[in-house]
Structure 1
Amino acid sequence: MTYSHLDPAMHHRVAWNAGKTVGTKRPLTQKQIWAIRFFLDREERLRDRALFDLAIDSKLRGCDLVKLKIGDLVAGSDIRNRALVIQQKTGRPVQFEITADARASLATWLLRRGGPADGYVFPSRLDHRRPMSTRQYARLLDELVTAVGLRREDYGTHSMRRTKAAMIYRATGNLRAVQILLGHTKIENTVRYLGVDVEDALLLAERTEI
């Protein structure tokens, strides 16, 4: 439901973002990633460890991540090294890598989870025929960052999408590669997404000696 700013009801209506931190969410650091992994392993949360690892590797939006099916990630009895999905937002395909840590945690989770190739990797707790909701995914991330002493207001589902992309950019300065990995149609979107500014450009230039 929407309201006009002229409606009397709006005079006492509190803004949806009052008291909240809005804007770009921070990516996680390597130290924070390992802290969260340690927490998940200690608590023996197989599903959440697999979801966390895959979220970082895939760099997918939450809506695409939760809808992954077992057949998207498994070939025969093995977890794929790479996978491809069609993005819900753009309708365009995007590929991503699945590294050794993610393959190991996924294999452990899928062995426990079972199910057919057309089943969701992370099904809803209420109905296994449906995927986990993006809201449930967001709540889980709130819990994880809080568990390792971070402010949940500073992090969100896009933190997971940005984490590895930001690391790749800092290591290489290759915006085009990051654009492809994120599935952005325009490099300007990648620049805004990573928060690339003049300082970043100058640091890259200073590293280059001629």
Structure 2
Amino acid sequence: MTTANPPRQRAPDCAPWNKGHLIGPKPPLKLPEVWGIRIRLQLDNNTRQLALFNLAIDSKLRGCDLVSLQVRDVVHGGRALKRAAVIQQKTGRPVQFELTPNTRRAVEEWVDAAHLQSGDFLFPSRIHGSPHISTRQYARIVKSWVTQLGLDPAEYGTHSLRRTKATLVYRRTRNLRAVQLLLGHTKLESTVRYLGIEVDDALEMSEQTEV
């Protein structure tokens, strides 16, 4: 007699951080908000969180992919890469991203300050038994960032950071295919839904139309 295979368990690091919470589309950060968080972290000399924030904005990665980055994914020979690529845990497909000068500098300073080696996780956990920060820890950090800006933490989340640069790229170029590649989506329809651009574009066209 054969038995059915047990259901595949979700990896701990990809467990939804918002389980049990009301969820909905999380708006991207605006440029003044991005710089507001960045400047606060710089003034606080918070090297770890500055590297995490800048990399979250540039990489546009899902939380589970961001927190599981290893040093070698973004740093070679002590220098941060201008471009990197990782395999997405959700889709199993590769996605590439750029690291801007601010991000490269922040990552290099963090790796040096934390004495991290090539095979180490880029953002190791301070909790015993956990190799890197969890998506739940990452969500709490994001909550602290938006709260310090005076924003409602219930309205923003880790996907706000994932959407921020992708939304700016779309607004400047209207190139959906480019944004699809940057987000690592397999279908263009997913990118349209993710950015919520159909409604935004319709409202923008309506505002520009006088009757």
TM-score of the pair, normalised by structure 1: 0.85
Give the SS at the match of 2:154: helix
Counterpart amino acid of residue 148 in structure 2:
A
Q: Bigger shift: 124-133 or 151-160?
A: 124-133
1:108 is the counterpart of 2:105: no
Shift of 1:77: 2.2
Counterpart amino acid of residue 136 in structure 1:
Q
Give the SS at the match of 1:95: strand
Give the SS at the match of 2:97: strand
Q: Which residue of 1 aligns with 2:68?
A: 67
Shift of 1:199: 4.8
Counterpart amino acid of residue 162 in structure 1:
R
Shift of 1:182: 0.3
- Give 1:31-50 correspondences, 5 Å limit: 31-50=32-51
Question: Any runs of at least 4 consecutive aligned residues in structure 1 with deviations exceeding 3 A, and if so which?
Answer: 201-204
Give the % identical residues: 53
Q: Which residue of 2 aligns with 1:125?
A: 126
Shift of 1:131: 1.0
Structure 1 residues 124, 101: CA separation in 2 closer, same or farther (over 3 Å shift)?
A: same
Give the SS at the match of 1:154: coil
Counterpart amino acid of residue 84 in structure 1:
A
Shift of 1:81: 0.2
Gaps spanning 5+ residues in structure 1: where? 1-15
- Give 1:1-210 correspondences, 5 Å limit: 16-17=20-21, 20=22, 22-127=23-128, 130-200=131-201
Q: Bigger shift: 52-61 or 112-121?
A: 112-121
Shift of 1:103: 0.5
CA distance in 1, matches of 2:199, 2:157: 26
Counterpart amino acid of residue 138 in structure 1:
A
TM-score of the pair, normalised by structure 2: 0.84
Q: Compare CA radii of gyration and give the structure with the larger one.
A: 1
Shift of 1:181: 0.4
CA distance in 1, matches of 2:79, 2:58: 17
Cα RMSD of the aligned pairs, angstroms, is: 2.0
The question of whether the paired residues in 2 share the 8 Å contact of 1:119 and 1:129 is answered with no
